[in-house]
């Protein structure tokens, strides 16, 4: 499979190059040249293991870039935790994507991408240095996914005192190849340093720098897998209405890609918080960017979703065709909190704020549409203890992965929010 740049169809690369580059030169995103047909896989699915399903879905996208046996190993490392579809109410289930090492769905993409990079780097004498700025959640999945991966060093920048204790431990207890930089500044300061680093010729000469951003195809494409695992567990006659809590729209876009290749679905819903550019776009056909609004579902506080152009590309920029498949809904913080309370009380199920946005959106959609559906539950509720205390007033037990984290001691390097300080540090650190 080859990939083209959405802005320039003449710029074509294979899977390996698209993964190593991250973004096409001059911006835009990579997009697959054709969409595989999975109808045979759907027919045979009930008798296949998750690894076999994953292999059939992903192999066409990887093409000749990774040999079969290596890809099989990468896949089995990627899907090595449970992804159950749990019934919540008579018509709504949850696809729980939070049983991975950092309790967030981003574990799937981060694990797959890190192992692809390890493969592509196997004969290189230079390490690849992955740079990430994080406000909390993404960084944990990247640190965990890339920890102990040979040939790759990870540098993660996070704002001092602005991440939760658990998040900080996830960032600072990675393997020997992970460096956590505690920046005395804000998330924006961290992001500014990372952006500048990618355009710095001095650093480009010293390292193979890359980003583990969600726009990288090796993080985006494996997200299709769990939509297939959900369908394998789906027991109703009619295909599911699928509701995805969305921020940068990578997760939803992967689901729509699976749908375009033949995965059965009745309809898709993009569940957004107060950041409603896409819900507005879907109604008015006009894209008006606005400032980011802070909400309880903060991993979805995105004002200008980077993956939406991939969704438009998937539907040939035809809004009417897209509207037939996708509805976008905006849910307030008030509705989010009420939903957590209601679902806990009625069904004894605890939603995290992101999954609650999805539950509320799906419930709203179902008022005027017959059927059954599932929400994509993107994070474990334990990651949001403050919201839980406010809403359900009881503590929920820590999963084992968190308990063991609490006994560890984190390691970080404290730096001022100055680019020069970062450059001095990285040039003197042992990256090779
Ligand atoms: C990243 C994230 C999202 C949003 O996913 P996108 O692919 O960016 O739309 C939703 N929920 C949680 C918990 C996340 O961490």
Q: What is the pLDDT of residue 173?
A: 94
- What residues contact residue 31 under an 8 Å CB cut-off, 6+ apart? 3, 4, 5, 6, 310, 313
Least confident of 155-169, 170-184, 413-427: 155-169
Q: Taking residues 396-422, what's their average pLDDT?
A: 91
Residue 104 CB less than 6 A away from ligand 1:
yes
How far apart are the CA of 377 and the centre of ligand 1, in A?
Answer: 10
Q: Determine whether the shortest distance from the Cβ of 378 to ligand 1 is under 6 A.
A: yes
pLDDT at 188: 81
Catalytic residue among 106, 161, 196, 286: 106
CB of 79 within 8 A of CB of 108? yes
Instruction: Answer whether residue 393 shows pLDDT above 90.
Output: no
- d(C-alpha 87, C-alpha 76), whole Å: 26
Angle at the Cα of 359 from the Cα atoms of 343 and 346, rounded to 5 degrees: 15
Question: Cβ distance 282 to 310 under 8 Å?
Answer: no
CA separation for the pair 416, 212 (Å, rounded): 23
Place 304 in a pLDDT band, splitting at 50, 70 and 90.
confident
Task: Report pLDDT for 222.
Answer: 98
pLDDT exceeds cutoff 80 at 135: no
| pLDDT for res 143 | 93
Number of the ligand 1 atom closest to the C-alpha atom of 253: 7
Q: Where are the beta strands (DSSP E) in 186-263?
A: 208-211, 241-245
Q: How far is the CA of 110 from the centre of ligand 1 (A)?
A: 13
> Which pLDDT band, with edges at 50, 70 and 90, does 282 fall under?
very high
Inform me whether the pLDDT recorded for 352 exceeds 90: yes
What pLDDT is recorded for position 421? 97
Q: How far apart are CA 431 and CA 154, in angstroms?
A: 9
Q: Is pLDDT above 90 for 124?
A: no
Average pLDDT (287-301) is 88
For residue 199, what are its two tokens?
């355009």
pLDDT average, residue stretch 302-331: 96
Task: Round to whole Å and give the CA distance between 111 and 58.
Answer: 14
Question: How many angstroms separate the CA atoms of 255 and 269, rounded?
Answer: 11
pLDDT score of 263 more than 90:
yes
Q: What is the pLDDT of residues 43-77, one digit of tens each?
A: 999 999 999 999 999 999 999 999 999 999 999 99
Asked if residue 245 has its Cβ within 6 Å of ligand 1, the reply is yes
Token match 């913080």: residue? Answer: 333
Q: How confident is the model at residue 277 (pLDDT cuts 50, 70, 90)?
A: very high
Position 126 scores a pLDDT of 83
Nearest atom of ligand 1 to the alpha carbon of 352: 13
**Is the pLDDT reported for residue 318 higher than 80?**
yes
pLDDT 10s digits, 400-411? 888 888 889 999
- Between strands 30-32 and 267-272, the pairing is unpaired
Residue 289, pLDDT score: 80
Strands (E), 185-277: 208-211, 241-245, 267-272
Which of 219, 246, 278, 292 has most ligand 1 atoms within 8 Å of its beta carbon, as the pocket-test mutant?
Answer: 246
Q: CB of 273 closer than 6 A to ligand 1? A: no
d(CA 38, CA 30): 22
Average pLDDT over residues 99-105: 91
* Ligand 1 atom closest to residue 246's alpha carbon, by position in its atom list: 9
Q: Probe ligand 1: pick from 97, 99, 134, 245, max atoms within 8 Å of CB?
A: 245
pLDDT at 213 over 90: no
pLDDT at 25: 84
- Closest ligand 1 atom number to CA of residue 379: 13
| Mean pLDDT calculated for residue range 214-242 | 96
Per-residue CA distances from 106 to 7, 145, 354 (Å):
27, 9, 13
Report the chain's mean pLDDT, rounded to a whole number.
Answer: 93
Ligand 1: which residue has its CA nearest to atom 11? 378
Q: How far is the CA of 355 from the centre of ligand 1 (A)?
A: 10
Minimum-distance ligand 1 atom for the alpha carbon of 98: 13
Q: Among residues of the chain, what percentage have pLDDT more than 90?
A: 74
Band of residue 243 on the pLDDT scale cut at 50, 70, 90:
very high
- Is 80 exceeded by the pLDDT of residue 432? no
- Cβ(167) to ligand 1 under 6 A? no
Cα dist from 80 to 73, 97, 111, whole Å: 11, 12, 10
Q: Which of 111-120, 176-185, 307-316, 395-404 shows the lowest per-residue confidence on average (mean pLDDT)? A: 395-404
What's the CA angle centered on 90, arms 38 and 393, to 5 degrees?
110
pTM for this model (two decimals):
0.93
Q: Whose CA is nearest to atom 1 of ligand 1?
A: 299
Is 106 marked active-site? yes
Find out whether 296 and 335 touch, Cβ atoms under 8 Å: no
């Amino acid at each position: 499979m080859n990939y083209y740049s959405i802005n320039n169809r003449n710029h074509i690369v294979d899977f390996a190059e698209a993964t190593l580059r991250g973004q096409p030169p001059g911006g835009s995103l990579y997009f697959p040249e054709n969409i595989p047909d999975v109808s045979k896989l759907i027919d045979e699915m009930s008798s296949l293991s998750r690894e076999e399903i994953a292999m059939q879905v992903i192999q066409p996208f990887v093409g000749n870039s990774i040999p079969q046996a290596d890809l099989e190993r990468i896949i089995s490392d990627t899907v090595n935790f449970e992804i159950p579809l749990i019934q919540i109410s008579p018509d709504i289930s949850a696809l729980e994507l939070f049983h991975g090492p950092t309790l967030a769905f981003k574990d799937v993409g981060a694990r797959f991408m890190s192992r692809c990079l390890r493969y592509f780097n196997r004969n290189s004498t230079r390490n690849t240095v992955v740079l990430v700025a994080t406000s909390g959640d993404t960084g944990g999945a990247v640190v965990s996914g890339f920890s102990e991966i040979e040939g790759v060093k990870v540098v993660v920048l996070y704002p001092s005192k602005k991440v939760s204790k658990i998040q900080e431990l996830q960032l600072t207890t990675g393997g020997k190849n992970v460096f956590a930089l505690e920046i005395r500044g804000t998330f924006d300061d961290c992001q500014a340093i990372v952006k500048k680093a990618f355009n710095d010729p001095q650093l480009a000469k010293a390292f193979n720098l890359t980003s583990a951003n969600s726009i990288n195809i090796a993080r985006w494409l494996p997200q299709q897998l769990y939509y297939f695992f959900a369908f394998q567990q789906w027991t109703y006659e009619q295909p599911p209405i699928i509701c995805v809590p969305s921020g940068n729209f990578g997760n939803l876009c992967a689901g729509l890609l699976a749908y375009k290749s033949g995965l059965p679905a009745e309809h898709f819903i993009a569940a957004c918080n107060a950041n409603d550019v896409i819900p507005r776009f879907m109604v008015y056909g006009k894209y008006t960017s606005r400032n980011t609004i802070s909400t309880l579902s903060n991993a979805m506080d995105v004002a200008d979703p980077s993956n939406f152009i991939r969704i438009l590309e998937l539907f040939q920029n035809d809004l009417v065709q897209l509207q037939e498949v996708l509805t976008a809904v905006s849910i307030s913080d008030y509705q989010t909190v009420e939903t957590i309370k209601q679902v806990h009380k009625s069904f004894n199920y605890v939603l995290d704020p992101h999954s609650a946005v999805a539950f509320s959106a799906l419930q709203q959609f179902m008022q005027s549409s017959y059927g059954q559906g599932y929400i994509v539950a993107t994070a474990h509720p334990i990651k949001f203890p403050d919201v839980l205390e406010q809403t359900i007033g009881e503590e929920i037990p820590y999963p084992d992965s968190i308990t063991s984290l609490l006994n560890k001691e984190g390691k970080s390097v404290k730096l001022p929010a100055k680019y020069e300080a970062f450059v001095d540090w990285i040039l003197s650190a042992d990256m090779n």
